[in-house]
Chains A and B, each alone.
Chain A
Amino acid sequence: RICVITLAEAHPLLQNGKTITSINYQISANCSRLQNKVSGKSKRGAQFLTELAPLCRISSSDGEEYTIYSCIRGRLIEVNENILSNPALLQEKPSTEGYIAVILPKFEESKSVTQGLLTQKEYEEVLLKRLNSSS
């Protein structure tokens, strides 16, 4: 099952007042997500990601730097190069054109990956709790 990674609603970058200055797919000296090349149906050659693997680092004008993590296990199929040339896209359409990456988990792990995620409802509950505990 194909997965598209996007910024969550409550992410700081999507809150008012933030301007993105740069997006960097080079996450270490040896590894750039931009160099990911896949071939064939089974997507050979793809970089394999675990939950904590960084996808990219995003810097905002107020000096903050955010690392976006994969959050799921699977092969990296592609990263969105459109947001490199147009960072505003990430904030304007975070759930569609402003996606971060596309990942394909292993067929056998498909179910466990889905089960490890929150539903929209569960996420909203988490947000509510956060709001209540901080106020």
Chain B
Amino acid sequence: MSSLTEKDRPIVQLLLNSGTCPRCILRFCCVGSQMLYRCPYKDLMKNLREFLKNNKEKEDTVCFDVVDPPCKRIRLEQMEEGPDDLNHNRALQQIPTVNNENTAIENSALKVCNVCLGILQEFCEIDFVKKVCQKVNSSDYQFTSFVFSVSLPPQLSVRERAAWLLVKQEMGKLGLSLAKEDIVQLKEAYKWIIHPQLSEELGVPADGKSLFEVSVVFAHPETDEECRFLATACPDCFKPAKNKQSVFTRMAVIKALEKIKEEDFLMHFPCPPSSPMNLSVALEIQCNNGAVFVAGRYNKYSRNLPQTPWIIDGERKLESSVEELISEHLMAEFKADSFNFSSSGREDVDVRTLGNGRPFAIELVNPRRIHFTAEEMKGLQQTINNSSDKIQVRDLQLVTRSAIGRMKEGEEEKTKTYSALIWTDKAIQREDIAFLDDIKELKLDQKTPLRVLHRRPLAVRCRIIHTMKSEYIDEHHFRLHLKTQAGTYIKEFVHGDFGRTKPNIGCLLNRTADILELDVESVDVDWPPTLEN
């Protein structure tokens, strides 16, 4: 909350001489006024030089201040500076007649700051802001706020450390100390400057919790090797990770900087840091929207449709899939990069899902469009239903990420009801199957079915058949309705799976039985909420 005072003078001089930009100088002098950082670069430079020229003839506390109109983009935070300061400043401010020395220096080409490598210089200018906004607008996202995230090259931390050591040393001479925590962080200062500008160009506020992220990656190839000395000084901080290109990540560098001793640091790294030839570059400007979730229930009417695409060795074995038929239209409407489909359990390719259908949720990754009214969702539902007779969806709605948990709990805990068409080898009469209706809470021991054993661990599952209802058809056929615990293998309960599911229909009827058809009649999960039609 301070401006520059007398005691800052030697620091300012030192840093300016070593090639540090005005905003970094303000940072190292712990100036906390956001407004100051937002002032145009040229004005800051000019006023710093003014400040330096003002010698002890003036009052002890010299206020470094910048008057309007130079700062056009300042918001009401200006309240920090009282009217007194303004008057005081006018007296101090020199009218644009500068002496020769100053002109020469000011007119020289912009020196790239040796601490921020240009981040607080070039990349605070309106040109860059416009470049970012151009990328945002051309990417065609729907958003109501944004969060701006910045990735800085690791060598910035090294240079920051060198500058701090330099300043600390100088202040030590004055009998003063400077804690690392008091220095204004580069990222923070950068955001002070750029947020209002971005906000104005995009027309929406900056919000840390926003789902829409604009991210920029900065790099400075010229100084990339500067972190290398840390590897010899602190080798255990830099373990090669398989999926990272460079071992010198920001985190690793910061850790090493914490460990390294001051003397060692100064031995290997110039203090003050050298002036680079080039500015940093903005490698990537990317936009990303947080995922949206669409939930509903699906019915499956085909006995030839897998849940997920069935591809072996690059060859598709069966046409389409439940998830593709549903997601295709959502992807198009939401303009997402990709999707993740999950459901409360699933059925085999040859099993139909009837009744209210099975709950599902689709995560749409990086959607361009995120706002849909209930009407629009209904329209989407209709589109999906019109596009295929193999599946139908209902209760299509937007949900939150946390809602997925409810769906998954349904998979493990809730009951399901089925209808099975069963064949027997030896003839049956009505009386032979009637007793099935009276069996309640039948306990099964099911070893992992042979048909999935190649991809599941071998185990024994205890499952319960709650109720059964039989429907006699003829001497070799009957239909069985069952209500079972989640995770019960119905087909194996019918044919016995080589005796590995006990008891089974075959042994209950003392015959060999097999299943001809299976339908899911209901999935007893009351999520997602039923929508009125």
Query: Interface of A with B (CB < 8 Å)?
Result: 1-2, 4, 38-41, 43, 77-78, 80, 82, 89, 96-97, 99, 102, 104
Contact residue among A40, A97, A99, A104 (Cβ-Cβ distance under 8 Å from B453): A104
| Among listed B102-110, B231-239, B455-463, B521-529, interface-contacting one | B455-463
* B307-331 near A? 1/0 per residue, CB < 8 Å: 0000000000000000000000000
Q: Which A-B residue pairs are the 5 nearest by beta carbons?
A: A97-B499, A2-B453, A2-B454, A38-B458, A2-B450
The answer to whether A97 touches B450 (Cβ under 8 A) is no
Are A77 and B458 neighbours in the complex by a CB distance under 8 Å? yes
Interchain CB contact (< 8 A) of B498 among A43, A77, A99: A99
CA distance A38 to B496 in the complex (A): 22
Extra contacts, 11 of them, besides A41-B457, A96-B512 (Cβ < 8 A), are A2-B450, A2-B453, A2-B454, A4-B450, A38-B457, A39-B457, A40-B457, A41-B456, A82-B499, A96-B496, A97-B499
Check B498–A41 contact: CB distance below 8 A.
Answer: no
Q: What is the minimal beta-carbon distance from A35 to any residue of chain B, in angstroms?
A: 14
The interface bits of chain B over 485-523 (1 if a CB of A lies within 8 angstroms of the residue's CB, else 0) are 000000000001011000000000000100000000000
Binding site for A on B (CB under 8 A): 447, 450-451, 453-458, 496, 498-499, 512
Choose one: B450, B455, B512; the contact of A41 (CB below 8 Å): B455
Task: Tell me the nearest residue of chain A to B452, going by C-beta.
Answer: A2
Q: Is the CB of A97 within 8 A of B454?
A: no
Q: State the Cβ distance, A105 to closest chain B Cβ, in Å.
A: 10
When distances are taken between beta carbons in the complex, the residues of chain B under 8 Å from A96 are: 496, 498-499, 512
Query: Closest chain B residue to A39 by CB distance?
Result: B457
Whether the Cβ atoms of A104 and B499 lie closer than 8 Å is no
In the assembled complex, how far is the CB of residue B312 from the closest CB belonging to chain A, in whole angstroms? 12
Would B450 and A102 count as touching, CB distance under 8 A? yes
Q: How far is the CA of A41 from the CA of B458 in the complex (A)?
A: 8
Residues of B within 8 A of A99 (CB): 498-499
**21 A–B pairs (Cβ distance < 8 Å), ordered by A:** A2-B451, A4-B450, A38-B458, A39-B457, A40-B457, A41-B455, A41-B457, A43-B458, A77-B458, A78-B458, A80-B498, A89-B499, A96-B498, A96-B499, A96-B512, A97-B496, A97-B498, A99-B498, A99-B499, A102-B450, A102-B453
Which chain A residues lie closer than 8 Å to B499 at the CB level?
Answer: 80, 82, 89, 96-97, 99
A13 to B207, CA, bound (A): 79
B residues in contact with A77, CB < 8 Å: 453, 458
Q: How far is the CB of A36 from chain B (nearest CB, A)?
A: 10
Which B residue's beta carbon lies closest to that of A43? B458
B458 partner residues in chain A, CB cutoff 8 A? 38, 43, 77-78
Query: Looking across the interface, which residue of chain A has its beta carbon closest to that of B512?
Result: A96
Bound CA span A96–B498, Å: 5
> Could you tell me the distance between the alpha carbons of A88 and B295 in the complex, rounded to whole angstroms?
53
Contacts of A43 in B (CB 8 A): 457-458
Given the complex of chains A and B, what is the CA–CA distance between A102 and B455 in angstroms?
14
Complex alpha-carbon distance, A4 and B498, angstroms: 10
Which residues on B sit within 8 Å (CB–CB) of A4? 450, 498
Q: Least Cβ distance of B460 to chain A in Å?
A: 11
How distant is the Cα of A4 from the Cα of B451 in the complex, in angstroms? 11
* Bound CA–CA A67/B313 (angstroms): 39
Residues of A within 8 A of B496 (CB): 96-97
Alpha-carbon gap, A55 to B161, bound state (A): 70
- C-alpha gap A104/B453 in the complex (Å): 9
**CA gap between A97 and B454 in the complex, in Å:** 20
* Least Cβ–Cβ distance between A48 and chain B, in angstroms: 16
Most B-side CB within 10 Å, residue of A4, A39, A43, A96: A96
Q: How far is the CA of A77 from the CA of B453 in the complex (A)?
A: 9
Q: Return the chain B residue nearest A38 by Cβ.
A: B458
Q: Chain A CB within 10 Å — which of B450, B451, B456 has the most?
A: B450
Nearest to A86 among chain B residues (CB) is: B499
* Distance in Å: Cβ of B364 to nearest Cβ of chain A: 30
Could you tell me the distance between the alpha carbons of A96 and B496 in the complex, rounded to whole angstroms? 9
Q: Assess the B454–A104 pair: CB atoms within 8 A.
A: yes
A1 B454 Cβ-Cβ under 8 A: yes
Chain B hits for A80, CB < 8 A: 498-499
Question: Contacts of A41 on B, CB cut-off 8 Å?
Answer: 455-457
Contacts of A40 in B (CB 8 A): 457
Chain B residues whose CB sits within 8 angstroms of the CB of A2 once the complex forms: 450-451, 453-454
A1 smallest CB distance to B (angstroms):
7
Distance A97 CA – B456 CA, assembled complex (angstroms):
21
In angstroms, how far is the closest chain A Cβ from the Cβ of B388? Answer: 33
CB of B494 to closest CB in A, whole Å: 13
CB distance from B504 to the nearest CB of A (A): 10
Which residue in chain B gives the minimum CB-CB distance to A36? B458
Determine how close the nearest CB of chain A comes to the CB of B461; give it in whole angstroms: 15
Closest CB in chain B relative to A2 CB, distance in Å: 5
Q: Give the shortest distance, in Å, between A109 (CB) and chain B (any CB).
A: 13
Residues of the A chain whose Cβ atoms lie less than 8 Å from the Cβ of B453: 2, 77, 102, 104
Once the chains are docked, how many angstroms separate the CA of A102 from the CA of B457?
Answer: 13
